[in-house]
Structure 1
Amino acid sequence: MKNFLLRVQKNCISGIILLLPLVVFFMILEKVWGFFRKYGDKFAHLLHIDKVLGTIGSDIIGGIFLILLIYFSGYLMQFSFLKKIADWIDDKLMFFLPGYEKNKKLAEEKLIKKVKKPSTNSPVLLKFDTYWQPAYLIEENTEGNAVVFVPTAPAKDQGQIYIVSTADIKRLPDTTLGNFDASVKTLGKGILSFK
């Protein structure tokens, strides 16, 4: 009986964790849609579209308003002042909402469908005092200097950039970027086998 109650409790908690973001999303969607539908209703009444199409006319006009707002917001983002305001809001949201940055990047990738450029970075190990740290070799010059990016695990696209001597770099020519990225995401698992 105790196992059954624990299983019920676990399933209920899992259900809440699954449904809570969905409920919040649909509540926000309902508020936004209600706002645009209200003005769509007024505009449809003004143009007598509601007499022709009925209540669906206000939905159509509200949808058109929403699409136009999204389009013109994207157009306004080309102005640097508004971009700075949007970046400031993003910074505040990243601070107050955990996971916002990760979800924003995922949404941007899905919406924009970015074509991933082939990366010229090569995986290396960078010597710090008595230990080696995984890094990406970004570029090097003929004077023996190199630019490396040391990721902050598990995020492979966040970290620090260093200019170091090429003598402090151990190249990993047999290691693919995919394997290296996977190792960084799993906090270093598998790095000892890289060559």
Structure 2
Amino acid sequence: MVWYFKIWTLVLKGLLLFMLPLILVVIILEKAFSIIQKLIHPITTHLPQEGIFGAGMLPLLAIVILFFITLIAGVWIEKKKVKTIIPFLEDKLLVLIPGYTLLKSRVNEVFGDLDSKCKSVLVGENDQWKFGIEIERNENGYSMVFFPDPPDAKSGELKMIKSDSIKILEVSMSSLTNLIKKYGLGSTSLIK
């Protein structure tokens, strides 16, 4: 591969897999903050004129309101009725966000959500083994496995593989992705 093609590939990956989601989150938070400030602007005459820690009362109040809105949204998401809507949203809308599924699995892992079906695995092919993430397993004896590529572990290859050629690792997905980011350095400690 020509060196400049590799550079452009890395630039595009960085743009699409890192910068775009980050910019979208910043834009959404900025827009939410702006809307809240406009809604509470009429009560600014009743707020003290001096700020706290160098910030005015209006932005601080907007931050507090945004915090409570997200807290209420978090409580609302835990409701049983809402949990039935979330898979529909994920299938139709959220899959369009690059790296969403991998990020969701890592968040579930951090917060101890055992419903996460993704597992760290080793897949054997012709006396060679490859690290992967089992996305799902069906009753016909096949598994969908994502093979992340270094250095970012967000892009890679997706394959349907016979489940009997897969060894499930007792390793968290974050540990596996960190291992892949280091080009496999330290992988011998995972294999028993």
Task: Please give the TM-score of this superposition, normalised by the length of structure 2.
Answer: 0.49
> Highest CA radius of gyration, 1 or 2?
1
